[in-house]
Amino acid sequence: MIEDPHKSEMGGAHLNGHHNGAARMVRQVKRADDKLVAFVEERPLVAIGVALAFGYVLGRVMTRQG
């Protein structure tokens, strides 16, 4: 079955004229996800360190707010 390249992954809905923008955003999110997965597979310890550092900083910021 040949798929129409103009249809998005969202069933071809045009979303009130924002079809191209929504489809582009879906592609960008998928590309970012693929890059993140590849980074974690290549450097798992660095990924864990970054996640821990981000969590620490986020926790410090949140405790100052409340």
Span 10-37, pLDDT tens digits: 555 555 556 789 999 999 999 999 999 9
Q: How far is CA 5 from the centre of its chain?
A: 22
From 32, 27, 25, 22, select the one nearest 12 (Cα to Cα): 22
Instruction: Find tokens 């996640």 and name the residue.
Output: 51
Q: What is the pLDDT of residue 7?
A: 55
CA dist list (Å): 34 to 1, 3, 30, 39, 58? 26, 22, 6, 9, 25
Type of residue numbered 11: G
Q: Where exactly are the structural domains of the chain? A: 19-65
Q: What is the pLDDT of residue 13?
A: 52
Q: What is the pLDDT of residue 57?
A: 97
